[in-house]
A and B are shown apart, each in its own frame.
Chain A
Amino acid sequence: MARITLDHLAHAYKPNPQAPQDYALKEINHVWSQGGAYALLGPSGCGKTTLLNIISGLVRPTRGRILFDDRDVTDLPTEARNIAQVFQFPVVYDTMTVRENLAFPLKNRHVPRDKTAQRVEEIARLLDLTSVLNRKASNLTADMKQKISLGRGLVRPDVAAILFDEPLTVIDPHLKWQLRSTLKEIHRALDITMIYVTHDQTEALTFADKVVVMHDGAVVQTGTPDELFERPAHTFVGHFIGSPGMNILPCRVEGATAYLGNESVALQRGYRSLPGTDRIELGIRPEFVRLQPKGTGLPVRIRRIDDIGRARIARVEMNGRVLAASVPENLSVSGDEAGLHLDPHHIHIYADGHLVAGEALGGHAT
């Protein structure tokens, strides 16, 4: 059991990295606390697998240290770390039975036979593999194989953390839910740190207590699913999480008022000390943008309305910008012109992509 600390960690695949863009993984400081369920979320090529492989020891970082509790393991090989990893494509040893597969890591570590057998039985029960223990592993379905991969990690009594590298990619959709809830149950039962890499926000948000969002080799935000939804720290997070993603509109801010073209929007906070940059943007989630009858709110032109099951989402155009808005149930739209209401409590202001906190509006407000 261990807390995993990443200390000024960075990695470049090419030798002699100089510029920041040479790094596949830019400097990162992070602590994964013991027993947490984490998700590493980001698009393909954002460095999340690199980070995972550094933690498991398959890749040695260019700079920085990695600590398990207070022990520096940066130079320790994979097999000497108490880490298990489940890969995108299920890895099973074809020639062995399920039982032999599960026993393999213990056999390699010369654990006594009776202890191995007992441990294998335990893990098999936990993963619901008891009935197939004597079958050849190669004859099983992808989700069973993924369970075996997981089992090979769990079977080691000393395992501190299990890393998952997009483990549900090749699993049938209807089994994904099942396997994910198995993972959650195991996490609850065993008090093991789990780090789950994925590019699927649903997987990340349902699995993890804490989500680490990565973009372009850097961590852009770490937080609970709620935090990521309510207060995206970066426009990337706003856009990447949520479906549809956050509306991001270029704007001009003066004090507590944002100007979108000719229209002004009152804000809940003051922004007197915005960084001097040309890129000021207003971000608001479609859930907090409400379509209204024509003549009220901001004037927009409706392009189309999608029914996504539990809600209707309108794609509207304002000053040549397209944004998504929710359509209230009782609103019937006629014609293609309408108004838009932005909930001021959920408007965020971004400078160069980063969230600006702003000041609370007090009595001395402008």
Chain B
Amino acid sequence: MTKTLNNKAWLLVLPVFLIVAFSAVLPLMTVVNYSVQDTFGNNQFFWNGVGWFQELLDPSTDLGGRFFDSLWRTLLFSAIILLIEVPLGIAVALSMPREGWTVALSLVLMALPLLIPWNVVGTIWQVFARSDIGLLGWVVNHLGIDYNYTGDPLDAWITIIVMDVWHWTSLVALLCYAGLKSIPDAYYQAARIDGASRWAVFRTIQLPKMRRVLLIAVLLRFMDSFMIYTEPFVLTGGGPGNATTFLSIDLVKLALGQFDLGKAAAMSLVYNLIILAICWVFYTIMTNVDAQKERAEA
């Protein structure tokens, strides 16, 4: 057998290579380039080596302290979001109707928050939660609770979390609902015959069957909340003080507010690496689940 060498196929993938190069590789390389340099404006750059990275990863420096503050804030936010939205999403999915005309209705209602542009969500809550003219803020204050998200860090956090729960729980619920729908009726019937309680049905049938979609839901919600920018930016602008300055907001402040391109580039690279690492962990877990399943079916 002779091997036919034909390199024409490269021409066919060339457009894709070019698009990826211009949309991903080149901008990323620019960031890498910035991250090892310093500038004082006038488009003059000086070599700084790994200086920014050293500073960034050392919490005792200004930059490092700021970075780690934002990082912990973001991680805390993601953790809270997951702890609320995943159980709530499962609960909502379990109580959604499974047949009849109410199915379509509830699906549309659930999808509604997902269809609203992110900065509109921010604006809605920005007005809704205002203590002077916002319905929510006004009512809460008139109930005798001192609530002001623009002045009190805790109130700001609560508002952002409630907003995110309102915006994104539907996604978890819809994914779980899809998982639940795929369970054949026979499972529920068998469980009834076996005398299983409601809790046992959830533990032994529904949860195991939802495992895969749940992993996807957790991954999506983690990534989204870890990279959240638009809504808190519109709602609080990262304040009061730095109370709701998450990594993405901090990054924009650094890059576009202070125009510290080198620091911002280093920060965005580290940010990127953290996301990639977590993605990889999730991917490994998911493929492990798949492999287990395959072994089970073999």
Contact = CB atoms under 8 A, between A and B. Distances in A.
Interface of A: 53, 56, 58, 77-79, 83-85, 87-89, 91, 93-96, 104-105, 108-109, 136, 138-139, 149, 152-153
Contacts of A105: 193-195
Given A87-B190, A93-B204, A105-B193, 11 more contacts: A79-B192, A79-B193, A85-B189, A87-B186, A91-B190, A93-B208, A94-B208, A94-B209, A95-B204, A105-B194, A105-B195
B187 A77 contact: no
**Closest 6 pairs between A and B when the two form their complex, measured CB to CB:** A87-B186, A108-B195, A91-B190, A105-B194, A79-B195, A138-B296
Contact of A108 (B184, B196, B296): B196
B215 to A, nearest CB: 15
B23 interface: no
A83 B193 contact: yes
A108 B197 CA distance: 7
A112 B208 CA distance: 27
B200 interface: yes
A109 B195 contact: yes
Interface residues of B, number: 18
Given A87-B186, A95-B208, A108-B200, A139 B193 contact: no
Given A96-B204, A138-B296, A139-B296, A89 B193 contact: no
B216 interface: no
B3 interface: no
Nearest to B207: A95
A168 to B, nearest CB: 15
A160 to B, nearest CB: 13
Interface string B50-85: 000000000000000000000000000000000000
Contact of B184 (A53, A56, A89): A89
Contact of A153 (B192, B193, B200, B295): B193
Contacts of B295: 139
Contacts of A139: 295-296
25 contacts: A53-B189, A58-B192, A78-B192, A78-B193, A79-B192, A79-B194, A83-B193, A84-B193, A85-B193, A87-B186, A87-B190, A91-B184, A91-B186, A91-B187, A93-B205, A94-B208, A94-B296, A95-B204, A95-B208, A108-B194, A108-B197, A136-B296, A138-B296, A139-B296, A149-B190
| B contact patch SS | helix
| A contact patch SS | mixed
B291 to A, nearest CB: 13
Contacts of B209: 94
Contacts of A53: 189
Contacts of B208: 93-95
A222 B197 CA distance: 38
Nearest to B196: A108
Contacts of A93: 204-205, 208
B207 to A, nearest CB: 8
B217 to A, nearest CB: 19
Contacts of B196: 104, 108
Contacts of B186: 87-89, 91
Nearest to A159: B193
Contacts of A153: 193
A91 to B, nearest CB: 4
Interface string B147-163: 00000000000000000
A275 B82 CA distance: 75
